[in-house]
Amino acid sequence: MALLFVALTIPLLWCGLPVAGAAAFVAFSFTFAAGGRPVRGEKRSLKWLRVGIMTGGALFSFIPQWQIWLLFLPWPLAAGIVAVCGTLVVLGMTYHAGRTQAEQELAENRADSRRTSVMQPGVVGRTLGHLMLWQPPMLRQAPLPPTLARPLGPAGILLMALASVTGMLAISAMTASIMVLMHEGAFAPIFRDTARGGLVTLPGVTLMVLSNWLLNRKDWPFFFMAGRYGSRVAFARTMFRAYRLNVLLWGVGVIVPVMLVLVLLGSVPGAVAGWLGVLLVLMFTGACYGSSVPLIWRELGGKGVTIAAGMAAYMAMILANPVVLYRAHHADLAIAASLAIFVAGMAVSQVAPRQLPRMDWPFDGE
C-alpha cells in the first residue's frame, strides 16, 4: 500500500506540485476506495466516525476547484488529512472477527421476538418492483456467487443510475446555494461546475463497487461442484463472463444518463457526446478488470493487493476520464487513454481466468 501511495504521488511531484499537497490529494482519493468499505465487527463509534468523515469528504468534493485547494494546502493541514485518511484506509482494509455462532443465534432470536409491522406494497410499488427486477431471457443467469449475482434488471439499473444523478444534482444545488451565500459568485455557473465535477465521478464510484467481486471467493468451490462447468478453468471463465455482463450493464446504465445531463448542462457539446460516451464505456469496462491484475501473479492474490489494484484503476479512470481530457483540449489523449485501458482490461480478462484455479485450488489443478 505504501508503494502504491508513493507511485501515485510521484507524477504529481513531477508536475511541480507541493509534496504535502500531493500526498494529501492521493490520501484523500484512497479514502473513497478502501476507507468507505464496511468493516466486519467494527465498533459503532468508529463506524459513525468513518461514515461522518466520508460524508464530509464527499460533500467537499463537490466544491468547485476543490482539487486546487487540496493540492496547495499548508503542510500542517495536509499532514492532518494524510493522517486521517490513512487511518480510514487501514481500518477499511482490516479484517475484524465477526460474531460467534452463539452470538449470531442470540441476535436472530431477539430479532424474531420483536414485533415488526410489515407494510404491503400498493399496486404502484409492486409494479415498480417487478420492473426493477425484470430481466429479459437472454440476461437471466444460473445461480452465481453473491458478489456476481445481479438482483436488478436493466430497468432497475437505469432507475438506480437516474436516482444517483438526481441526488448528485441536488447536492450540487445545495453546494452552489452555500457558495452564493458566501459571495463566491452566481448560482448558475457554480451549479454547472459543481454538477459536472460530481457527475464525471459517478462511473468511478460504480467501478469501486463492482471491483469488490474478487474479495470473497470462499463459496466459489461450492458453486463449481453444484454446476456443470466441466473444468475449473471453464468455471473461472464463466465467472468472468458474468462479471463482464454486469460491468457492461452498469457501465451503460450509469454513463448514458450522466452524458445526457452533461449535454443539458452545456458541459459537453451534443455533437461529441456520443463518442465521448463510447470512450467512457470502453475505459470503464477495461478499468473494472484492474482488481483482477493480481491474479496473474499467484503470490500477489491477497485481499490487500486486490483492493490496491482496484484503487489504482479508480485513480486511472479519474485522472484519464475522456470527458475531463476533452474539456482540457486533449481529445487525442482521451482516445488513446480509453483504448489503452480497454485493451489492457480485455487482456487481463483473458489471462486471469486460467490463473484463478491455480490460486484458489492449487492441488490437482489443470
Q: Where would I find the H helices in the chain?
A: 2-14, 19-30, 44-60, 66-71, 75-92, 101-113, 123-133, 154-181, 187-199, 202-210, 220-226, 232-264, 270-287, 303-319, 322-327, 331-360
Q: What band does 210 get if pLDDT is binned at 50, 70 and 90?
A: confident
Reported as a pLDDT band with limits 50, 70 and 90, residue 39 is low
The CA-atom distances, in angstroms, between 148 and each of 109, 125, 159, 219, 328 are 30, 26, 20, 12, 37
**Cα separation of 166 and 199, whole Å?**
10
CA distance 260 to 256: 6
- Give the pLDDT score at 218: 76
Binning pLDDT at 50, 70 and 90, where does residue 186 land?
confident
pLDDT of residue 344: 92
The per-residue pLDDT for range 76-117, each reduced to its tens digit, is: 888 888 888 777 777 666 644 454 455 555 655 665 555 444
Is pLDDT above 50 for 25? yes
Q: Is a pLDDT exceeding 90 seen at residue 285?
A: yes
Amino acid code (one letter) for 110: R
Give residue 118's pLDDT: 46
Q: Give pLDDT, residue 108.
A: 55
Q: Are 291 and 333 in contact (CB under 8 A)?
A: no
The structure's pTM equals: 0.67
Amino acid in position 122: G
pLDDT of 3 reads: 76
Q: So what's the pLDDT on residue 339?
A: 93
Measured over all CA atoms, what is the biggest interatomic distance in the chain, rounded to whole angstroms? 69
Instruction: Decide if 6 contacts 23 (C-beta within 8 A).
Output: no
| % of the chain surpassing 70 pLDDT | 73
- Amino acid residing at 48: W
